[in-house]
Structure 1
């Protein structure tokens, strides 16, 4: 009986635990559902506000434009009227003056006819002389109606049709942004952001990606990338800090940007790559990710190593050359297992590197394959994959190495792939560079 009770108790405990897990899962799904509902309602409210604000601004602007155009046209009418009436007023004044002279002459002539015989000759003579000076046969020219302006307004009714057509197609509402972030991949002190189109009918000409620090103390979004690529590496990020990323697109032939994608949160746990401070002949940027060879008084190369072994297999290590100088065969960029004081070049044992002339070295031996020479703007990448070999002494093992690293070095549009044999498993690597002449400048990330 006791065994049966124990079995029932065990079943009850398991059922209670299952019920608790089930309730927890349901609560998580309920939380996700609430988040989804919040996103729908919140984005709908923001869309309504954006539409109302935009069309209110359009209405106000259209009213101002129409009022300004009406005032301009009325001013044109006023100007034409004033310019046309002025000569008519002048002609009217001339005619009215002539009428006044004629009236006065008529009165004098009638008075001369009525006067007595003694004064008649003088009166008639004075009247005749005055009439000759007035030039009664000279009449002012009055313009014909066809020669004076007849002001009219020409109004094209097609404007309303054009406006109706443009307004009917102005703006759009979509349930999803046309582009979304699909992956946030952590890199040392940086995050690789990848995005893709989710609306196949949207022809994207450019993409725009922004980011900002998350949290209540977060900054404003700032542009990180604008271009045609669908990925971008955001540098100079603090490890273990949340950042928000979003992306939008601009259609072919359009000037406005699409709605922003749903922001995605990303962070990196990997410390940024840094050059080692205090190496003679080199100066570093404030973030220690840019090194400048500044001292050419020394007659030998010196290797500048990383501050720590921060490069791991499975990652991509990138060197970007931002300034060049005179080349030397000992110049090099590469990866090594350890750091040695007094090294003149990475072209040594326990290291793989590329020279500035494109030669590739493995453990100090030059390979037959060669990459393009390094120039301003060149990007050199190192990718490594760890391949385990069988233990030493196995019949299938032809060498004494314990592990094999598959190394890919890329420069320009070419790459070299080879196997690097090491005696023991390696979790992380140092990186370094060496230049003889001053002027070389390299960024690592």
Structure 2
């Protein structure tokens, strides 16, 4: 085959490969477009159902409340009517009884007048005595109309206006939630979730973060507060979790719609302290250590991690939840190894911070200093590889130089320096040492 034919064949192969890659990219975009279409259709259908259900519940509740109020008012009218009619009925019975007595007396008097002369005197005398006992000058009192109830209803027409105003402003529909998750960062035994608002007209007062396993249907609250990030711990490694966030607007009581759920996971196991070290008590998850007073007074030993679980590129965090008396030998930091006889991390092959804020690199104190460690202090370690300098082949005694860029943060201050090691390491131990009891530290 000629050179031109080989060149042409190679060009055709490259075109075929480019076409295959192009088709693959287009197919991936079609899948993404299909997912986007499903999200629009699915969220629209769900929102319609939510709106219908909500307004049906409102109608049923409002109708029930109005009927209950109507029945209450009608019962009040019935009570007033009954209480007012009873004395009038009694008065009517009394008057009707008097009318009957007067009728009887009239008939008896007329009969006495019409009777014969022989009986007239007796009958007239009997009638006069009877009339005297009836007390024809005594009349019952009938209440005036102004003194009896005139039942009426007072109805405030402004209720309808206010209801109409509230109903016309009740609920809203938006094409995008006002808050979205922007980043999921894996941490040891957890995931750092960061979010931000995407609606400039929305002014959040607080946020609400929820999560669930991908195999579950029930979300759990993880955080409610004003921060825009949260580190969710105690997650199982290599397990997918779904995260979503919403917000409550300033001056509002209801929560906004949820953000689009994002899937996150961690491949890093949770940090744990080593168990069985004299002078330290661990929590059930072994991520919190308490310096007890069981060891000899004034002596200290280093409590290390149970494995070299800190990797460069990650953030290691110590949080002080209780504090004891300071000692210049106290230390919190990372190291290459964990010798059993060390009393502090202020030694070779380690970097640390003391409780008084002093920073030590390979046992030497730096001039830069951080704030003193107290209850609530959060100390972070971030490291990245700067360079690896191989040994000189002409001089086999030269060791490999391994340089790490270390950033230690505490409070609102941080120190940055290069840590030179004589060996390449891809993972490090962490540790702490406290001379006096009462210190409690959480690592994550």
CA 1:163–1:219 in 2, change beyond 3 Å: closer, same or farther?
Answer: closer
After TM superposition, the structure 1 = structure 2 runs for residues 12-161 of structure 1, keeping only pairs within 5 Å, are 12-161=12-161
The 5 Å alignment of 1:398-409 reads 402-409=401-408
- Answer with 164-173 or 417-426: which moved more: 417-426
Cα distance in 2 between the residues matched to 1:411 and 1:133: 110
Give the structure 1 partner of residue 316 of structure 2: 317
Hey, what does 1:307 align to over in structure 2?
Answer: 306
Listed one character per residue, the Cα deviations across residues 156-211 of structure 1 (whole Å, up to 9, x for unaligned) are: 33322222211111111111111111111122222111111111001111111111
Distance 1:166 1:43 in 2: 26
Shift in Å, 1:442: 1.5
Contact 1:334 1:352 (C-alpha < 8 Å) held by counterparts = yes
Give the 3 Å change call, closer, same or farther, for CA 358–262 of structure 1 in structure 2.
Answer: same
In 2, distance between residues paired with 1:139 and 1:36? 92
Distance 1:392 1:421 in 2: 14
Structure 1 residues 313 and 10 mapped into 2: Cα distance closer, same or farther (>3 Å)?
closer
TM-score (norm 1): 0.90
Q: Which residue number in structure 1 is paired with residue 248 of structure 2?
A: 250
Q: Could you tell me how far apart the structure 2 residues matched to 1:319 and 1:37 are?
A: 45
Describe the SS at the equivalent of 2:69: helix
2: distance between equivalents of 1:188 and 1:22?
A: 38
Equivalent residue, structure 2, for 1:285: 283
Structure 2 contact 238–267 (Cα < 8 Å) conserved: yes
CA contact (8 A) 1:319 1:381 kept: yes
Distance 1:325 1:403 in 2: 36
Change (3 A) 1:29 1:281: same
Query: Within 1, Cα distance between the matches of 2:354 and 2:111?
Result: 127
SS of 1:211's partner is: strand
The range that moved more, 66-75 or 381-390, is 381-390
Pairwise CA distance, 1:118: 4.1
Give the deviation of 1:420 after TM superposition: 3.6
Structure 1, 245-254 or 423-432: larger mean CA deviation: 423-432
| TM-superposed deviation, 1:75 | 0.9
Q: Which residue of 2 aligns with 1:359?
A: 358
3-state DSSP of counterpart to 2:431: strand
User: Which residue pairs with 1:211 in the alignment?
Assistant: 211
2:193–2:230 Cα contact (<8 Å) kept: yes
What pairs up with 1:161-310 in 2 under 5 angstroms?
161-214=161-214, 217-218=215-216, 220-299=218-297, 300-310=299-309
Pick closer, same or farther for the CA change 1:98–1:175 going to 2, 3 Å.
same
SS at match of 2:341: coil
The verdict on how the C-alpha distance between 1:18 and 1:354 changes in structure 2, with shifts beyond 3 A counting, is: closer
Cα contact 1:296–1:436 (8 A) shared by 2: no
In the TM superposition, residue 432 of structure 1 has moved relative to its aligned partner by 0.4
C-alpha distance in 2 between matches for 1:332 and 1:20: 58
How much has 1:219 moved relative to structure 2? Answer: 5.4
Which stretch shows the higher mean deviation, 306-315 or 335-344? 306-315
Alpha-carbon separation, structure 2, partners of 1:199 and 1:297? 57
Structure 1: gaps (5+ residues): 394-399
CA deviation after TM superposition for structure 1 residue 262, in Å:
0.8
Distance in structure 2 (CA, Å) of the matches to 1:124 and 1:16: 142
Q: Which deviates further from its counterpart, 435-444 or 241-250?
A: 435-444
Residues 421 and 164 (structure 1 numbering): CA distance in 2 closer, same or farther, change over 3 Å?
A: same
Tell me, in whole angstroms, the C-alpha distance in 2 between the residues paired with 1:406 and 1:253.
46
Q: Kindly tell me: are residues 126 and 374 of structure 1, through their superposed partners in 2, closer, same or farther at Cα, counting changes over 3 Å?
A: farther
| Deviation (angstroms), 1:419 | 4.2
Deviation at 1:73, TM superposition (A): 1.3
TM-aligned CA deviation for residue 76 of structure 1: 1.3
1:344 matched residue in structure 2: 343
Report the 3-state secondary structure (helix = DSSP H, G, I; strand = E; otherwise coil) of the residue aligned with 1:302.
coil
* Paired residues, number: 437
Alpha-carbon spacing, 1:219–1:374, altered in 2? closer, same or farther (3 Å): farther
The secondary structure found in structure 2 opposite 1:88 is: helix
- Partner SS for 1:318: strand
Question: How far is 1:323 from its partner?
Answer: 2.6
Assess if the C-alpha contact under 8 Å between 1:296 and 1:437 holds in 2: no
Q: Structure 1 residues 185-194 or 60-69, which shifts more?
A: 185-194
Q: Is contact 1:401-1:421 (8 Å) kept?
A: no
